Every structure is written in structure tokens, then in C-alpha cells.
Amino acid sequence: MNPLDAITLAALASVAHTGPTPLLATVSGAHLYGFASRDSDIDLRGAFVLPVNAVLRLREPEETITITQQHNGLDVDWVAHDVRKFARLMTRRNGYVLEQLYSPLVVVGGAWLDELRAIGRGCIVRPLYHHYRGFAQRQLELLAKPEATVKELLYAYRVLMTGIHVLKTGEVEANLVRLNERFQLPGVNELIQRKVTGAETDRLLPSDFETHHTQLARLEAQMAEAFEQSRLPDEPTTFSELDDFVARVRLELGTDG
């Protein structure tokens, strides 16, 4: 059973409402990536709106919050940024926030999220390559260690496929199951099944990395090629719209603080 099935949408939304007014909350992490196991924590991510009274003061407000609660024996981690910081990150080739923005697992959404997603299309830029390349390199370093896990191998596949996909299509897709429907790489679905039916810390067998090393190297080369050929813009094209969005959200949702 998917761990999310045991936790209601209302329970997840209640975590997001623990802090300042949430603007958007989506599920990220292993649940978004398509390989959550029975003991996977639930990574709730998104943006909130600080009250106008807080952002006008001399003292800098806390722009990021982290709240952890337990529901049905699983940790639900709500990590979110104030809308201004979230918007800034959108303009800085940050794949993490774009994956959160476009996650189909929506806990808090509505018209504001719909509008931000439309504006966010202009923040999907060619230099996202550097985000995904850096993430992939860190995963490959972890895989070189004796204690490497199935989870780390899946993360390497996921980030490389996501990077290639976004550079070629301009679409943010973080779900490895759907990505592999396109890539059709042998052994990946079997790894997903091992992770889903096992545990977060299941170790790789000695032969696992050798088997998948060639495919990972090929994906690295494909991502570099996709970067060279990508027609995505080099800079965000909707900065003004995003700037206006932040001001309107603050004035409408932040005046009760």
C-alpha cells in the first residue's frame, strides 16, 4: 500500500496550516518520484505568505519554516519558503522548487497555484542543466561507496532522466515510473519494485552498480547533449509577472497578520 493512502488530504493540509498562511503545498520526495516504500517519510513542500506587518519591520523575518508531525506512524515534514523567497528560487535555475511547483500531488492549491504554474513556465530555463548535473554527480559519488543503497541508485536515474526531459521538452517531470515509460531502460522498473517493497536503507548488491554504470554514463552524455541542443531560454522570461504576483499575494493574503 502507498503510505499516502493511510493519511488523509485533510491531515496533510493541517500540517501545512500549522505555520503562516500556506499558498501552496505539494508532496515531493519519494512519493513524487514514484518509489516510496512503506517507511518513507512524507515530504510536504511549498510556499507560505508572511503577513505584511512581518516583512515591513527592521528585523528580517524567517523566510523558511520546517515543521514535522507524525501521522499514522510516518513523519510528515513541512518545509516551505515565504512566497518572495520561493519566487526568487524559481528564477535561479532551482529544480527543487520547480518540481514542487509542478508536483501533481497537491495538498494546498487553487487559483493562486494555477497562476503561479503559468508564470513558472517562463522560469524553466536551459541552465537547469547545472542543477541536475550537480545533483547527479553527488549521487554517483554516493554510489561509489560500499554502503550505497537502492534508493541512491534510483535517485541517480531519476535526476538524470528529469534533467534530460526538461531540457528537451520544457516540462518538469519528476516521476521515475513515467520517465522510464519514455526512456525504456532495462532494470529500472525492477529497482523501483525492490525499493517499494523493501526499506529506505536496502543496500545494493555488489553487481548492481556494475550493471547500471553503463546506463548512467550514457544518460550523463545524453543530458550534456540535450543541454547543447536545448531551445529553452537562458534567463527567466516572466520575472515581471512573478514580481507582480508576489506583491498581489502579499497584499491579499498577508494583511491579516
- The C-alpha cell at 27 is 508532496
Looking at the DSSP bridge assignments, the partners of residue 22 are 48
Checking DSSP bridges between strand 74-82 and strand 64-71, what pairing results, if any?
Answer: antiparallel
pTM of the predicted model, to two decimals? Answer: 0.94
Residues 191-205 have pLDDT tens digits of 999 999 886 678 888
Q: How far apart are CA 157 and CA 184, in angstroms?
A: 12
Q: Which of 108, 97, 114 is nearest to 174 (CA)?
A: 97
Average confidence (pLDDT) over 70-76: 89
Distance of CA 130 to the CA centre of its chain: 16
Checking DSSP bridges between strand 74-82 and strand 42-49, what pairing results, if any?
Answer: parallel
Report angle CA 189, 104, 76 to the nearest 5 degrees: 85
Count of other CB atoms within 10 angstroms of residue 166: 28
**Domains along the chain?**
3-123+237-253 (3.30.460.10), 128-229 (no CATH)
Cβ(190)–Cβ(243) under 8 Å? Answer: no
Cβ(28)–Cβ(41) under 8 Å? Answer: no
Q: Is 65 helix (H, G, I), strand (E, B) or coil?
A: strand
- The C-alpha cell at 75 is 513523519
The model's confidence at residue 256, banded by pLDDT at 50, 70 and 90, is low
Average confidence (pLDDT) over 152-173: 97
Find cell 488530504 and name the residue. 9
Helix (H) or strand (E) holding 155: helix 150-169
Among 57-61, 83-87, 220-224, name the one with the lowest average pLDDT: 57-61
